[in-house]
Structure 1
Amino acid sequence: MIRVNWRRELQFWMFQLAGWSIWIVMLVLRDMTFVPSEYLLGRVSVFVVDALIGMALTTVLRYLYRAVWEAAVTIRVLAVFGGCWLASQAWRPIKVLITDSDFGSSVDLTDYGWATISVWLPVSMSLLLIWSVLYFFLKYYQLFQSEKEKSLRSESLAHEAQLRMLRYQLNPHFLFNTLNAISTLILVQSTDQANAMVTRLSKFLRYSLEHDPLDKVSLDHEISSLNLYLDIEKVRFEERLHVEYDLESDTRQAQVPSMLLQPLVENAIKYAIARSESGGTIWITASRCQKDKLCITVADDGPGASDHPTSIGVGLKNIRDRLQEMYGDKFMLVSSPREPRGFQVTVVMPYEIR
């Protein structure tokens, strides 16, 4: 908050100096057409003093406008006209004093050599009104920008919160099955296997919690984390679970959302491997399907589309929502039967290298 106030204060004084400097330059340019050059420097000095007084008076107006900022529109309008009129009346005798002195005797500061618009609206009054209009315009513009930043920040935080929520919806069935498998190993006194499984589970959970949902990791890194998950599942399914990789060399360093593959593989294990007494195979492939696109496919040789509720699966829905938040409309998530049997899910996303 202090930083914002300091920035606004700095902006105000920058506009003050710029605005009054422009006013001085306008008067000097006007005088250059008819004032001899030897008198020009003296007149410039008078204009600078007059501008400094105008700067002081408009600073007082600024505090007046800030005091009535929350008031009704009528009060603010009256404050503008009343404040400008009082400031111009206070400015006029100072101008007369400068004009009557030896310092500014050659300069008419009362109306700067221009005719007044009317008896009630001299040039000084007009100048202060113009300053006031510019002040309110810039003030409202700053407020608009501030509200826009707040809106964007709120939207960003909402998206991040949604991604975090989606990210941490780890399938409870996986934890239940893993803990049940560890319990079984302990009962049959396979302590080494149980210890190894606990170690793998802790590593996998640590990875899933440490990586932010907005993080992108290399495909190689993602495969490493997936192997932690698969090592756990292989304890349960043993020889029934086979996994084969086919990754093109230029895809290994491609950036993908962290924890992208695990829900897809979990889906294949749940609906293909676990339902077959002989188990099955899961294929994970990655390729450059287009020059600027990365295609990743997770396929299985299970019973096929009839046993894959991909439209309602929480894991796949979360993936779709995460990709939507991260890539907008620049991704595709396609599920389809695999020939001659099985099911596959393909993710198409922008090809990015860190």
Structure 2
Amino acid sequence: MLTPDIARRFVSFWPLQIGGWTLYALATAITVAPYSHTSTEVLGIVAELGSSFLASFFLYFLCRYLWRKGVPLFRALSFCAVVSYALGVACTIASRLTQMHGSDSTLTFDWRFALTEAISVCVTLEGWSAFYFGIKHYQTVGQQKARLLAAEATARDAQLLALHYQLQPHFFFNTLNAISSLVVSNQPLLATEMIARLAALLRNTLSFPDTHTVTLRDELAVVDEYLTIERIRFGSRLRVSVDVSDEANDAQVPRFLLQPLIENAIRHAIAPSSSGGEIIISARLAEQRLQIDVANDTCELEAASTHQSHGVGLANTRARLRQIYGAHNATLVLSGETGRFMASLQLPLITEPVMSSSTAG
């Protein structure tokens, strides 16, 4: 049974292959029709067309291999030109041998004729190669555009989800109560700071720039706004440690990537514990990939794992990673041991922002 990928290639390849060579054969027939040709010459033309058609299949596998290997276009076309000439010589030889076999008169084989005539076949096959790479480029651009459109939709979902985290009654009213307590206890500076942090956090959540990604440094700044509010709420029960290399700080990550992980750590590990716990955020580069780890103390590993494995925020995060980086290029792995839970992200190293589809278009 054909896989969907093979079936798609089958459907797209054969109509173009058959249709293209049929049109080429008709154009050749129209070109040679005004001139009188012997049956031997016609037989040679037909044999050359047939052998060229068969040679294009060999060229198809070669072009597909070069495309998958990511060979630069000029180098790929140059290599195909050399192969096309070799195939052209083979086609010319096949055409001449067919003429010799089907002719009553005595025909001789001339290598100079074969090498010269091979140029026309080479041009045809090289044009076939250029057409193949052109179609592949067009398909790739279409896939990238579709991926950007899907990423924009999921990014908007993530924005709304992040806003939901801030405005849910559990968080919002606790924050307001904390502010009220600070005012009543005559701590206006802390109350003012908490209001400013809350305003900044909501402003960052509501903003939507023309990129799907930001630097890790900017992402951590948003996380810090959130953690500052939570530090005021939990006091010494919440401890945070950040260990991020300078190179990792400049890497691009999806917006609001870390907040669901931090939110889950606080909700399922810090808040239920009377002694609180520590959240450790670390990031580093390894083999052209960005590794981000968010670890937290927990006394109930199984419960925390269950909550964090099936949360809406993590499902949304995984969906965004698939849309932005592809199905297998980015991973989110949850693991734990006694007293510690960790969420590990591995992303391709990107230093330029991923633009939204409206901006890219």
TM-score, normalising length: structure 2 = 0.52
The alignment status of 1:348 with 2:340, answered yes or no, reads no
* Shift in Å, 1:236: 0.2
- Paired residue for 1:324? 322
* Shift in Å, 1:201: 0.6
Alpha carbons 1:243, 1:283 under 8 Å: kept = yes
Distance 2:227 2:247 in 1: 24
Alpha carbons 1:164, 1:212 under 8 Å: kept = no
* Shift in Å, 1:159: 4.4
The alignment status of 1:194 with 2:186, answered yes or no, reads no
- The CA deviation string for residues 260-305 of structure 1, in whole angstroms up to 9 with x for no partner, is 11211111111111111111111111112x3121110000111243
Distance 1:150 1:215 in 2: 18
Instruction: Give the letter for the 1:295 counterpart.
Output: Q
Relative distance call for 1:238 and 1:152 in structure 2 (3 A) is: closer
Relative distance call for 1:322 and 1:179 in structure 2 (3 A) is: farther
Distance 2:300 2:336 in 1: 6
| Structure 1 counterpart SS, 2:183 | helix
Distance 2:144 2:213 in 1: 22
Superposed, which structure 2 residues align to 1:146-165 within 5 Å?
157=149, 159-165=151-157
Distance 1:257 1:158 in 2: 14
Instruction: Give the letter for the 1:305 counterpart.
Output: L
Distance 1:193 1:245 in 2: 23
Relative distance call for 1:314 and 1:178 in structure 2 (3 A) is: farther
The alignment status of 1:284 with 2:276, answered yes or no, reads no
Q: How many correspondences in the alignment?
A: 210
Superposed, which structure 2 residues align to 1:103-122 within 5 Å?
none
Match of 1:169 among 155, 161, 165: 161
- The CA deviation string for residues 65-98 of structure 1, in whole angstroms up to 9 with x for no partner, is xxxxxxxxxxxxxxxxxxxxxxxxxxxxxxxxxx
- Paired residue for 1:184? 181
Distance 1:154 1:246 in 2: 36
* Shift in Å, 1:153: 6.8
Q: List alignment gaps of at least 5 residues for structure 1.
A: 1-25, 31-148
- Paired residue for 1:306? 302
Match of 1:204 among 193, 201, 205: 201
Superposed, which structure 2 residues align to 1:126-137 within 5 Å?
none
Relative distance call for 1:164 and 1:230 in structure 2 (3 A) is: same
Match of 1:242 among 229, 239, 242: 239
Relative distance call for 1:243 and 1:150 in structure 2 (3 A) is: closer
- Paired residue for 1:252? 249
Q: List alignment gaps of at least 5 residues for structure 2.
A: 1-29, 35-140, 353-361
* Shift in Å, 1:175: 2.5
| Structure 2 counterpart SS, 1:278 | coil
The alignment status of 1:294 with 2:290, answered yes or no, reads yes
The alignment status of 1:336 with 2:339, answered yes or no, reads no
Determine which structure has the larger helix proportion and give its number. 2
Alpha carbons 2:155, 2:212 under 8 Å: kept = no
Distance 2:143 2:345 in 1: 31
Alpha carbons 2:150, 2:323 under 8 Å: kept = no
| Structure 2 counterpart SS, 1:347 | strand
Relative distance call for 1:150 and 1:282 in structure 2 (3 A) is: closer
- Paired residue for 1:16? none
Distance 1:187 1:206 in 2: 27
Instruction: Report sequence identity in percent.
Output: 39
Distance 1:156 1:327 in 2: 10
* Shift in Å, 1:214: 4.5
| Structure 2 counterpart SS, 1:310 | helix
Relative distance call for 1:223 and 1:152 in structure 2 (3 A) is: closer
- Paired residue for 1:20? none
Q: Root-mean-square deviation (CA), in Å?
A: 3.0
TM-score, normalising length: structure 1 = 0.53
Distance 2:144 2:228 in 1: 42
Distance 1:297 1:167 in 2: 22
- The CA deviation string for residues 168-188 of structure 1, in whole angstroms up to 9 with x for no partner, is 113113333322322333343
Superposed, which structure 2 residues align to 1:35-184 within 5 Å?
157=149, 159-170=151-162, 171=165, 172=168, 173-184=170-181
Alpha carbons 2:148, 2:324 under 8 Å: kept = no
Distance 1:151 1:295 in 2: 27
| Structure 1 counterpart SS, 2:308 | coil
Q: Which stretch of the first structure deviates more once superposed, 236-245 or 302-311?
A: 302-311
